[in-house]
Amino acid sequence: MSSLIPAYVDGVLVPVDKLEVHQRGLRHPAVSVFVMQDNRMLLQKRAAHKYHTPGLWTNACCTHPHWGERASACATRRLDEELGLRGLSIRHMGVIEYRADVFRGLIEHEVAEIFAAEVHGPISMALNPDEVDEVAWVPLDKLEAALSHSPERYTPWLRIYMAQHREMILGHRAGGETVSV
């Protein structure tokens, strides 16, 4: 696995190999997208062969932008690449910075641009098996109970997002800035 992503080294944003970013725990830009339908959140189960957090449940998609890529364009691209979701209107909800041990000493230290989308009615998806094993629409009350009772089944960032930033993330029902991509 060799792909370059933007990361801060000595305070300067430079391209760094993604695995090295996580091995060194470098602060780096990221994107997280939440997709809601009524009172249910779309979760994906990360592919079992992923190099970190394999087989854990997380929000619709989480990723790193390419060098020079706008966060909103990255969010739209990854919804399509991971889940086959196209044409969603996403809203920028804010920025969250967190640091978490994600797997075998790898560290995510992300400055994550958060996006949310609301879908109505059935949607079609085409899951990318390199990224996603399965998806589920989970009622928020059941998700919160599961995060409390079985946190080890969920990615560290989803646990952080829901425990500390729930109102900002789910606020798309009341507002947020729609992004055209």
CA distance 88 to 103: 31
The question of whether 144 is a catalytic residue gets the answer no
SS (H, E, C) 125-180: CCCCCCCEEEEEEEEHHHHHHHHHHCHHHECHHHHHHHHHCHHHHHHHHCCCEEEC
CA distance 158 to 169: 11
The question of whether 74 is a catalytic residue gets the answer no
| Beta bridge mates, 179 | 90
Q: Which of 61, 62, 74, 82 is catalytic?
A: 62
Q: Are strands 177-179 and 132-139 parallel, antiparallel or unpaired?
A: unpaired
Q: Which of 82, 108, 110, 113 is catalytic?
A: 110
Q: What backbone torsions phi and psi does residue 13 show, to the nearest 5 degrees?
A: -80, 120
Which residues are identified as catalytic? Answer: 62, 110
